[in-house]
Amino acid sequence: VTNCSFACRPLSSSRYAARPTYRALSSLPAALTAFRSSRSNVFKIYLHPRNGPDVQRRRQGKHQAGEQQDESCPFDLAVLAAAYGIWLLPKWRRLGKRPLLVYTLMYGCLAGIVRFTLMPVLAALPYCFDHPYIPMHMAPFEDVIHRHGDYVRQIVLNVVLFLPFGVLQPLCDRCRGRRPRFWRCLLLTLALSVGIEVVQPLLHDFRRADITDVITNTIGGVLGYALWALGNVCCKKRQG
């Protein structure tokens, strides 16, 4: 009887539950259920070429870096404000009211571009060589072709961000006594955009340089110059 009761001892007793085989078999139904519930999400992540694990880690890094960016940007903005108040403002004030206004607006425009594309800068300088440098992505409008992410929002923001630069650049030429030229505005906008895209991966590992950003930024500068030219023609007609 003793042997019979020992043979009929339930499988869930401590003697059998401690064995690795029993633990693996007992957790198998729960693992299969979890796999079936998340199978569609797993396939959705890994089948799309731009939704792999590296991109997911990059997006998570962008979210974390965005929180750190809000904490570090006031220091960079304070440095820009100090440079304007101590050095640029006294220098531009001697040129007159109109150059002071135009140059101040241009300085604010450039500070805004740097704020949304490169900051934080000073906090990232000690760590700029701690991550590999990734060259510029040279496939234009790939997000638009694949309809990936908020590509419409990104394109609109890139255009609007450089639109004031295209308006203010010919005004700065007028203040310097030079005749505004379209090619000068085009080259300056292109050089500024390329410089930003080259420096972005050097400062931050969560930013990637993209030729699409260069194209859309340049389009924004060109549209700004077109707005200035249109306003200039309207002012000449009123004066004539």
Q: Determine contact, residues 124/203, Cβ cutoff 8 Å.
A: yes
Tell me which residue has tokens 């404000």: 81
Beta bridge partners of 130: none
In angstroms, what CA-CA distances link 46 with 64, 110, 141? Answer: 23, 39, 22
Query: With the CA atoms of 75, 81, 86 and 88 taken in that order, what torsion angle do they form, in degrees rounded to the nearest 10?
Result: 130
Kindly report, residue by residue over 126-165, the tens digit of the pLDDT: 998 899 999 999 999 998 998 888 889 999 999 999 999 9
Beta bridge partners of 137: 210
Kindly report, residue by residue over 179-204, the tens digit of the pLDDT: 999 999 999 999 999 999 999 999 99
As given in the structure block, the two tokens for residue 216 are: 């859309």
